[in-house]
Amino acid sequence: MKRFTSGVAVAVWLVLAGCGGDDDGSGDDSGDDSGDDSSGVEGDTAVVELSDAERNQLCEWSLDILGGEDQSTECEGFEFDSGTVEGCVSDLENAPEECSLTVSQLEACNIAIGADPCEGLPSSACETVGNSGCF
């Protein structure tokens, strides 16, 4: 069984698997607009422009949305692991300079995965992350 770890490394799986979005036609893949749906980091900032503190803040929020560190979920054909804050920060630090993925795009993917990892990974919100070429 394939095992995929979150943070931002999940993007690699999306590219390799060629997952398309599961678009319901609504055009809204940003998740619920309630207060907890943002890390508090400026949404239009490219992830490669984040300060150390902002990377840490985004990753801590992401792991909270995903249920905590090292949370595993078995899905049909793969297993999802939420990973660690340290792994997420490392992925963001190592993103290529030409990466244009924004904080809000990464947040939308994490919200989708947090709601249901088995459905969130192949969502159009995560397809954006997977197709970004950042990870």
Lowest mean pLDDT among 34-38, 66-70, 115-119: 34-38
pLDDT of residue 56: 97
Residue 22 has pLDDT above 60, yes or no: no
Averaged pLDDT for residues 65-78:
92
Q: Is residue 115 part of a domain?
A: yes
Furthest C-alpha separation in the chain = 37
**Reported confidence tier of residue 65, pLDDT bands at 50, 70, 90:** very high
Which of the pair, 25 or 114, is modelled with greater confidence? 114
Q: Is residue 39 part of a domain?
A: no
Q: Is residue 50 part of a domain?
A: yes
Q: In 97-107, which positions are buried (b, 16+ CB within 10 angstroms) versus exposed (e)? A: eebebbbbbbb
pTM over 0.85: no
Averaged pLDDT for residues 109-132:
92
**Reported confidence tier of residue 42, pLDDT bands at 50, 70, 90:** very high
Q: Is residue 105 part of a domain?
A: yes
Structural domain total, the chain: 1
Residue 20 has pLDDT above 50, yes or no: no
Would strands 2-5 and 78-81 be described as parallel, antiparallel, or unpaired?
parallel
Which of the pair, 14 or 84, is modelled with greater confidence? 84
Find the domain containing 112 and state its range. 2-18+46-126
Average pLDDT of the chain is 80
